[in-house]
A and B are shown apart, each in its own frame.
Chain A
Amino acid sequence: MTEERIYEMLDEVFQDVFDDEDIHVEPETTANDIEDWDSLEHINLVVAVENKFGIKFNMGEVVEMKNVGEMVHTILARVNG
């Protein structure tokens, strides 16, 4: 799976979870850039991403994801690894 495709799929997940059709994520996007992205919504996002890609993150990975780029990096390693 290409990085580009992963970003496309992530846009869909973010748009669903935050109920905003205009969201478009970039590698540098963090919780500070999206109004509703707080620690409570984070779990919804993580689980939605897991469902979308059919993967399970481990606790360490979730803690270390500081921005969308790192999330994509982890997803890439899983789906292609």
Chain B
Amino acid sequence: MRELKYPFDPDFIIQKKKKIKRRLLESSCGFIEKKIAILGGSTTNDIKLVLELFLLDQGIKPEFYESEYNKFYEDAVFGNEELDAFAPDVIFIHTSFRNIINLPKITDTAEDVDAKLESEFARFNQVWTALRNRYNCTIIQNNFEYPHYRLLGNKDATDIHGKVNFVTRLNLLFAQYAQENDNFYINDINYQASQYGLEKWSDEFYWFMYKYALCLRAIPYLSFNVSNIIKAIYGKNKKALVLDLDNTLWGGIIGDDGVENIAIGQETAQSEAFTEFQEYIKEHKDLGILLNVNSKNEMENALAGLAHPESVLSKDDFIVIKANWEPKSKNLYEIANELNLGIDSLVFVDDNPAEREIVNQEFSSVSTPDIGNKPEYYLRAIDRSGYFECVSISADDLKKVNMYKQNAQRKQMLATFENYGDYLLSLNMNATIESFIPMYMQRIAQLTNKSNQFNLTTKRYSQADIEQVANSDEYITLYGKLTDKFGDNGVVSVVIGHIEGDALDIELWIMSCRVLKRDMEFAMMDMLIDKAKENNIRKVYGNYYPTSKNSMVKEFYSLHGFEKISEDEQGNTRWELVVNDYENKNKYINVEE
């Protein structure tokens, strides 16, 4: 919903939140449902209500548990039946500077201050440990905003007795904990408060009147940030940038002005601004974000601009370049197809509001940030929107751009073979298929949340869920990793089967679309049936639950020799296979022992 996109109007959101909620619930369907517990050290009511709006807008329908006022510690450490029954997927701990008990005093020795820091950290550590042990779920924890006063003035930052110094050290300890622990994320209110303006953020009126640790108007910014972390955890980040060229990546119209006259480089303030923006865009490539061009231009001119000696971005940084006179919505649609991504994974960056509007009308799920018409502020508009909120940097993300390039090479090679089987053989594919191992838990959870098309049940798992399934003997789990002569595709397929006596129920079957039509699914099924035999399974059951995105796997089980045994009105189907009737089907992939 447009009212919830950055830059939003916080007063509007707070005042109209009931109406906005109604509209969100009416306008959309296919929410994923998540249980979110908010444990507060101050009032959280409006934080919860506004968080709900942002989550609904991201396709997540939350159910909330809210602790009693300032009972975050008690709920976590001593437990609470209501919270137990609630069984949260995510716990958000909303604490602030007001919740620090052991602040340094001027009369403290250095040892005293260290002891206070340690005990403060230990108190929070106790909260996290207790929550992990009891709920084994994702935890989002605020760090601390700076204090609202500085007894020592500027020295408050450097002296060990300074509260600014103390908060800084405590925040570093929190950050270190986040680095060392999975499923634990910091909501950086320290940055949010400075971005908002600390003086306004920590308006004492709201603390003394209502025990809010931040002013009401700042709540949408906080809730937006928390919603970004949550949607990123559940795989709802954007995956690609689609960029206009003229007056977006450089100043001027290259077709009219000529390549030598576009604004890029260090010559003028304007060209410096475009250069910084290009540098910012290029940084996304290292994060695994796919860069693409969608420009009304002759291809020749577009390439000439990217070959400008001062251009930070070059042709090779992009996966798909569309420079033509077609409607941009059509180009976007084709880019999504060529990348094998849903169109809702794209962020379209264009300085022209009319172009954005047309795209919006055609595909409301494409993000079209209002970057304004001042190049010095483009970066800000994209950065604050949280499209690519990072919850983990996996080695896989870093390799992703290469994989997409390799896929393009594979497509070219395919053209030289007449027989598809010969092509597959020529790829020299090697797979590793085995039960989940700790090294890949993160990637496996990520895949269960990102895969929409080749996904039979669209069941989502957090990393904690995956670890639980992996450690249970009631499940058969498989991950598949595929390598070929062009490179390593990484973990591309995940299967989870639940053992019920001598039957196996396949709860999850997903495969990354980057390895479509490579017969990886046959290699996976062969292995699953082997494992089933080891577990004395006689019958295997598969399930297909249709969504708007997974029609490609409607007949998946039929292809693998299963018999359809039921189908309901929604099109949910259930399939059966007698293990002894199964014949191995993989012919092209060498599965490593």
Contact = CB atoms under 8 A, between A and B. Distances in A.
Interface of A: 13, 16-19, 40, 43-44, 47-48, 51, 59, 62
Interface stretch (B12-20, B84-92, B172-180, B535-543): B12-20
Contacts of B78: none
Contact of B16 (A16, A40, A43, A47): A16
A41 to B, nearest CB: 9
Interface stretch (B202-210, B360-368, B502-510): B202-210
A48 B45 contact: no
B132 interface: no
Nearest to B46: A44
B209 A47 contact: no
Contacts of A40: 43, 45-46
Given A17-B15, A19-B18, A51-B15, A43 B205 contact: no
A13 B16 CA distance: 10
29 contacts: A13-B15, A16-B15, A16-B16, A16-B19, A17-B15, A18-B18, A19-B18, A19-B22, A40-B45, A43-B206, A43-B209, A43-B210, A43-B212, A43-B216, A44-B14, A44-B15, A44-B46, A47-B11, A47-B14, A47-B216, A47-B217, A48-B11, A48-B15, A51-B11, A51-B15, A59-B205, A59-B208, A59-B209, A62-B209
Nearest to A59: B209
A25 to B, nearest CB: 16
A19 B20 CA distance: 10
A40 to B, nearest CB: 4
Q: Which 4 A-B pairs have the closest CB atoms?
A: A19-B18, A40-B45, A43-B210, A48-B15
Size bracket, chain B contacts: 10 to 19
A19 B19 contact: yes
A66 B19 CA distance: 27
B228 to A, nearest CB: 24
Given A51-B15, A59-B209, A62-B209, 9 more contacts: A16-B15, A16-B16, A17-B15, A19-B18, A40-B43, A43-B46, A43-B209, A44-B46, A48-B15
A43 B208 CA distance: 12
Nearest to B204: A59
A13 B19 CA distance: 13
Interface in B386-421: none
B56 to A, nearest CB: 16
Interface string B186-215: 000000000000000000011011101000
Contacts of A48: 11, 14-15
Interface string B1-34: 0000000000100111011001000000000000
Nearest to B21: A19
Nearest to B11: A51
Interface in B251-293: none
A32 B22 CA distance: 25
Interface in B26-81: 43, 45-46
B560 to A, nearest CB: 52
Nearest to A51: B11
A43 B45 CA distance: 11
A44 B19 contact: no
Contacts of A19: 18-19, 22
A48 B19 CA distance: 15
A48 B216 CA distance: 10
A16 B14 CA distance: 10
Nearest to B217: A47
Contacts of B14: 44, 47-48
A17 B14 CA distance: 8
Nearest to A42: B210
Contacts of A59: 205, 208-209
- Of A18, A19, A59, A62, the most chain B CB neighbours within 10 A belong to A19
Contacts of B205: 59
A49 B210 CA distance: 16
Contacts of A13: 15
A16 B15 CA distance: 6
Contacts of B210: 43
Nearest to A63: B209
Contacts of A47: 11, 14, 216-217
Contacts of A51: 11, 15
A23 B474 CA distance: 57
- Of B16, B206, B208, B209, the most chain A CB neighbours within 10 A belong to B209
A67 B399 CA distance: 63
A43 B43 CA distance: 11
Nearest to A39: B210
Contacts of A43: 46, 206, 209-210, 212, 216
Nearest to B208: A59
Nearest to A45: B15
Contacts of B45: 40
Contact of A44 (B208, B209, B216): B216
Contacts of A44: 14-15, 46, 216
Contacts of B206: 43
Nearest to B210: A43
B208 to A, nearest CB: 6
A44 B45 CA distance: 11
Nearest to B205: A59
A17 B19 CA distance: 9
Nearest to A19: B18
A43 B206 CA distance: 9
Nearest to A16: B15
A13 B12 CA distance: 11
